[in-house]
Every structure is written in structure tokens, then in C-alpha cells.
Structure 1
Amino acid sequence: MAYRQTDKVAARLAETRAGILDAARGLVAEGGFAAVQMSEVARKAGVATGTLYRYFSSKEALCREVFREVSSREMGKLAEIALSDEPASERLVEVLRTFAGRAVRGRRLAYALLAEPVDVNLAEERAFFRRTHADIFARILEDGIENGELPEIDVKIAAACIAGAIPTALIGPLAPQSHELDRNADRVVEQIVKFCLAGVGITLAAGAVNTRERRTVA
């Protein structure tokens, strides 16, 4: 007779898996992916090390799942903003501030996701999510061009530039040995936002968004 997993067993397995991911994510937030050791993850999750390997075949597999989970969560927040009914200029500003602002507030985890030296598997995940970031920016830029808020630009190139500029600009400030964000966190975020907006023909001044077409979003 074939074994059939009951709902209760399935729920318990899912709960254990979630606990393992929570423990691993906590270690990444404290010390980056280099801090993830299977024995320590097991201890924090309250399971035996052998049990850990029933869910994840290796540290690499576990780290990859943590990367996907956290990145997907962050991406979902940006995508939700991008799909709102606000004018494209406002959505772009909000996505930029959200992206950079959340990175600044969760600096150690953000550094691990954006800049920490990683193996080829995590590098592939990082590249995938950077492309997804670019798709989110491209969607907003296309809307802005279509409705006349933004000047005509090469959307694909502009979106890729923005998606690459933000992590690059944050590498130094987010680095564990840096103290820049202790003093200038808000300024770092605003400078990133202004630079990215200027690249697509928008200037940010006096709390308003102004395009080169002289249209203003209050």
C-alpha cells in the first residue's frame, strides 16, 4: 500500500522547513552567507543536523533558497508599487526609495544579497534578480513614456542602468566595515534616487518630481 502523507504531517514538514530557513536567514542577516554553517543552522532551528540534510542537500542549496526567498519578498514589494495606479514618475521615485531605503535599514542582509562574494550558484541568483529588478523599472518607464510624463529613451538600457547603479552605489556604504550609513543614511538614499531619476530625465527638487517636459507631480 502506497504511503500517503496526511495534512498534519505535511504541515509539520512545512513548519520545520520554514524554521530552518528562518534560522539560516537570521545568520545571513548577522554575518552574511559566510556565517551559514549547517550545525549552527540546525541548532538555531532546533533540529538535528541530520534532519537538516533531509530538507537541504548542502549548505549551498540552503543558501540558494534563502537568497531566493528574501529576494522574492523584496521584489514583490517593488512590483506591487510598480503596478499601482499612481503616475509613473511617482511610482519610480517610490520604487527607488523603497529599494535603497530597505537596503540601508537592513544593511547586513542587503550587503549579502547585493555585494558579498558568493559562489557561482548564488551569483546566478543575483544576476536573475537584477534582471527582474530591471524589468520592474522598465515597466514604469514604458508607462511614463506612453503617457507623456517621461522623454523618449531606450527603456531596456535605462532600466538595466538603474538596476545596476543602485547595488553598485550601495556596495561601499553597506560594507560591514563602513560607518557611512551611521551618519548619512538618508543622504545616501536621496543621492541614489536623484542620480537614477536624472538618468531618465527627471529632476527631484523641493519635494516634487519635475520632468524635462515641465510636468509636475505633486
Structure 2
Amino acid sequence: MAYRATAFTENRKAQTRARLLKEAKGLVSEAGFRGLSVAEVAARSGIATGTVYRYFPSKSELCVAVFIRATEREIEAVTEPSDHPQSPAQQLQQALERFVQRALKNPNLAYALIAEPVDPELEQTRLNYRALWAETFARLISSGIEQGDFIPQPEDICATALVGAMAETVIIPLQLARHDNTKTASPLTQTHCEQIVAFCMRAVVKPVSTS
């Protein structure tokens, strides 16, 4: 009986934590990390403010947890395998397209994850996950080099450069989209997406020989 009670309690705690993170992420999607407050998370979750602190001792820890959960979800979505066999070049292009398109689809959240000024603890977490993004792309680049599709070059450096290029080049479009009251994607954002992907692909794919 004691084991069942403990399992039930732990499951309920996990559900409460998941609900808190969901509501916190919703707030970040609306107004960034500056718009996240423990009191509002508690209100939206239907629990007392003090209860939130049992799961997250500070707002900073709550922000870090939201960032980790949201970023890991983005990595999973971007790198999700296709239903059809793909070459490394196709996989990389698909991942790049998903990254930019998902960012423009939810500009407030993307800006918060990529560029919003945050406290040192959250900024360090952001740097850690940039490295994880780079590792993800480095594996694709390494595979493409091995198969002869990509230019031979240090995959770690190339992957880090691609992550930086994607992050920096979407900041201005994200800012524009955040202030677009129509909430509709403009031709400019789609064109921007295509240009970013094309630039990144040119950095890794071997040029077609014309001889």
C-alpha cells in the first residue's frame, strides 16, 4: 500500500510540474521571459503561489526549466526523421527549414529563446543549448562529408557557424513578426527563410562541377 501511495504522489507531482511548465511556456510565448511571473503561473495553474516555489525555488529556476523544455522540444521537431529516405544534404536542408519556419511561426517564443536579454543563469543555459544545436548539425555534416556530398572541413566549427548564422539572421524578422498585429506571415519572412537556408547550404554542399 505504501508503494502505491508513493507512486500516486509522485505521479501527481509530475503532473503538477508539467502543468506549471506548460502555463509558464504559454506566458513566455505571449510576452517573453520578462512577462513571466510566478504569481501568474500559479493563477493560470489554479494553485497557490507558494506551491510553485515547492517545484521551482526561484523565478530564475522556473525560467531555466521552461527554456530547457522548450528548446529540447524544438530540437526534436527540427531533427525528426522524414518518412522517406534522405541524403545528408536533404536532411540538413529540412532541419534548417524547420528551424527557421518554426521560429517565424511563434516569434515571441523564438525571440525569447534566441535573443531576449536574460539573467546570467539563463544566458549560460542558452549557450549550453547552442552547443547542443551545434552537435546536432555536426552529426549531419559529418555524415555528408563521409558520403562525399559536403565540403571536407571541421564539422564542429561549421556546425557552430551554421547555428550562429541561423540565430542571428532570424532576429530582425522575429522582431518584425512580434509587432505584426495581423499575425500573418508576409512574403518577406518566407523569402528570408529561403535565403537563410540557401546561404547555409552553400557553406557545406560541394559545388556541382561544370567540367
TM-score (norm 1): 0.86
Q: Show structure 2 runs of 5+ residues with no match.
A: none
- How large is the Cα RMSD of the aligned pairs? 2.3
Deviation at 1:75, TM superposition (A): 1.3
Letter in 1 for 2:195: Q
Matched, 1:197 2:192: no
Cα 1:9/1:38, change in 2 over 3 Å: same
Counterpart residue number, 1:152: 152
Counterpart residue number, 1:188: 192
Counterpart residue number, 1:14: 14
Counterpart residue number, 2:100: 100
Instruction: Find the aligned partners of 1:65 and 1:101 in 2 and give their Cα distance.
Output: 24
Runs of 4 or more above 4 Å deviation: 2-5, 178-181
Instruction: Find the aligned partners of 1:35 and 1:89 in 2 and give their Cα distance.
Output: 39
Counterpart residue number, 1:30: 30
Deviation at 1:154, TM superposition (A): 2.4
Counterpart residue number, 1:69: 69
Counterpart residue number, 1:207: none
Percent of matched pairs sharing the same residue:
38
Count the aligned residue pairs. 204
Instruction: Find the aligned partners of 1:3 and 1:58 in 2 and give their Cα distance.
Output: 31
Counterpart residue number, 2:122: 122
Considering Cα pairs closer than 8 Å and 6+ residues apart, tell me whether 1 or 2 has the greater RCO. 2
Cα 1:75/1:97, change in 2 over 3 Å: same
Contact 1:108 1:174 in 2 (8 A): yes
Q: Show structure 1 runs of 5+ residues with no match.
A: 203-210
Higher mean displacement: 170-179 or 135-144: 170-179
Instruction: Find the aligned partners of 1:199 and 1:178 in 2 and give their Cα distance.
Output: 32
Contact 1:81 1:94 in 2 (8 A): no
TM-score (norm 2): 0.89
Spell out, residue by residue over 1:148-189, the C-alpha distance to the aligned partner (whole angstroms, 9 max, x if none).
111212222211110101110011111134689544221111
Cα 1:178/1:119, change in 2 over 3 Å: farther
Cα 1:166/1:124, change in 2 over 3 Å: same
Instruction: Find the aligned partners of 1:197 and 1:81 in 2 and give their Cα distance.
Output: 19
Cα 1:107/1:161, change in 2 over 3 Å: same
Instruction: Find the aligned partners of 1:182 and 1:150 in 2 and give their Cα distance.
Output: 32
- Say which structure is richer in strand: 1
